[in-house]
């Protein structure tokens, strides 16, 4: 899952109040994403070091600083993941993680600036690392805000009390049958439909969720079906 999808800026995303399992899943994705940023930073640092043939240079030092900063951020993200169910601890650890990501982004931007004179392509790579850190920071902020939603402050919470947990589980199961890249979008879309049925009796919500689950495999075929294939069964 890219930081674009984590930040909810495209078809996947996070919306509404997060329950604990969703928050934990998001925190796990965040750790993975910061890990991937770290790999990109390492790759960039090695490339710069190779170019310099091992000679001391400020570019190389800064590049490895970015690598270390991302590694620290990943540790902090893992610490956040372990306390995502405890609001006060999560808020404290997310503040540390945000600091770390901000420092990493600033270092990456400085590297981008330095490399712009000597190696424009690597400068772009450094800039991309900085942007990814910013997006990860937006996700952290969103994770903490959504997870710590006060109990009575939004109709979403009162709505959630009326949405059957079993129905939510069924639509979640349906989304897991879809291709990985489509799960967040359809999961959110189907959860949204349940919210629209929040005023209906529980058995209607369950019936709707069951129909969604029964149609999950045909939906998967429709998503994967290339035009022209005879995949239509409805």
Partner 1 sequence: MPKESPAPRMTLPTQLVLRAFLEEPTEELYGLEVCARAQLASGTIHPILARLESVGWLVSRWEEADPHEQGRPRRRYYRLSPDGTVCARQALARATAGRNTLNTLRPGMAGGATL
Give min distance, CB of 21 to partner 1, in A: 16
Q: How far apart are CA 208 and CA 171, in angstroms?
A: 9
Given a contact cutoff of 8 angstroms between Cβ atoms, the answer to whether 4 and 138 are in contact is no
Give min distance, CB of 157 to partner 1, in A: 8
Give min distance, CB of 35 to partner 1, in A: 28
Considering the complex, state which of residue 73 and residue 213 has its C-beta at the smaller distance from partner 1.
213
Residues that bind partner 1 in the complex, under the rule CB under 8 A = 11, 13, 15-16, 149, 154-156, 158-159, 185-186, 188-193, 195-198, 207-212, 214-215, 218-219, 221-223, 225, 227-228, 230-234
Considering the complex, state which of residue 118 and residue 153 has its C-beta at the smaller distance from partner 1.
153
Structure tokens at 173: 């199961």
DSSP single-letter state for residue 182: G
Q: What are phi and psi of 124, to 5 degrees?
A: -60, -40
Q: How far apart are CA 118 and CA 185, in angstroms?
A: 41
Considering the complex, state which of residue 108 and residue 195 has its C-beta at the smaller distance from partner 1.
195
Considering the complex, state which of residue 39 and residue 222 has its C-beta at the smaller distance from partner 1.
222
Altogether, the residues listed in the chain come to a count of: 234
Give min distance, CB of 72 to partner 1, in A: 31
Nearest of 108, 117, 93 to residue 63 by alpha carbon: 108
Give min distance, CB of 62 to partner 1, in A: 38
Considering the complex, state which of residue 63 and residue 178 has its C-beta at the smaller distance from partner 1.
178
Considering the complex, state which of residue 47 and residue 206 has its C-beta at the smaller distance from partner 1.
206
Give min distance, CB of 87 to partner 1, in A: 17
Q: How far apart are CA 24 and CA 68, in angstroms?
A: 25
How does DSSP assign 43-98, residue by residue? Answer: HHHHHHHHHTTT---HHHHHHHHHHHHHHHHHHHHHHHHHTTTSHHHHHHHHHHHH
Q: CA–CA distance from 147 to each of 8, 24, 91, 114 (Å)?
A: 15, 10, 10, 39
């Amino acid at each position: 899952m890219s930081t674009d999808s984590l930040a909810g800026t495209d078809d996947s995303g996070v919306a509404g109040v997060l329950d604990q399992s969703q928050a934990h899943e998001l925190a796990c994705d965040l750790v993975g994403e910061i890990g991937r940023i770290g790999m990109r930073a390492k790759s960039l640092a090695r490339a710069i070091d190779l170019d310099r043939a091992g000679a001391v240079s400020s570019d190389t030092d800064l590049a490895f600083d970015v690598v270390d900063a991302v590694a620290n951020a990943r540790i902090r993200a893992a610490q956040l993941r372990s306390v995502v169910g405890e609001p006060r601890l999560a808020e404290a650890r997310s503040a540390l993680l945000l600091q770390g990501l901000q420092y990493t982004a600033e270092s990456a931007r400085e590297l981008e600036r330095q490399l712009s004179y000597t190696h424009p392509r690597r400068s772009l790579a450094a800039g991309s690392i900085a942007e990814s850190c910013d997006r990860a920071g937006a996700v952290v902020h969103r994770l903490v805000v959504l997870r710590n939603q006060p109990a009575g402050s939004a109709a979403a919470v009162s709505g959630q009390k009326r949405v059957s947990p079993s129905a939510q589980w069924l639509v979640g199961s349906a989304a897991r049958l879809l291709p990985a890249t489509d799960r967040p979008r359809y999961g959110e879309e189907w959860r949204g439909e349940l919210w629209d049925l929040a005023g209906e009796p529980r058995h209607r919500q369950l019936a709707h969720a069951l129909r969604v689950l029964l149609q999950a495999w045909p939906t998967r075929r429709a998503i994967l079906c290339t035009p022209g294939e005879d995949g239509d069964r409805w």
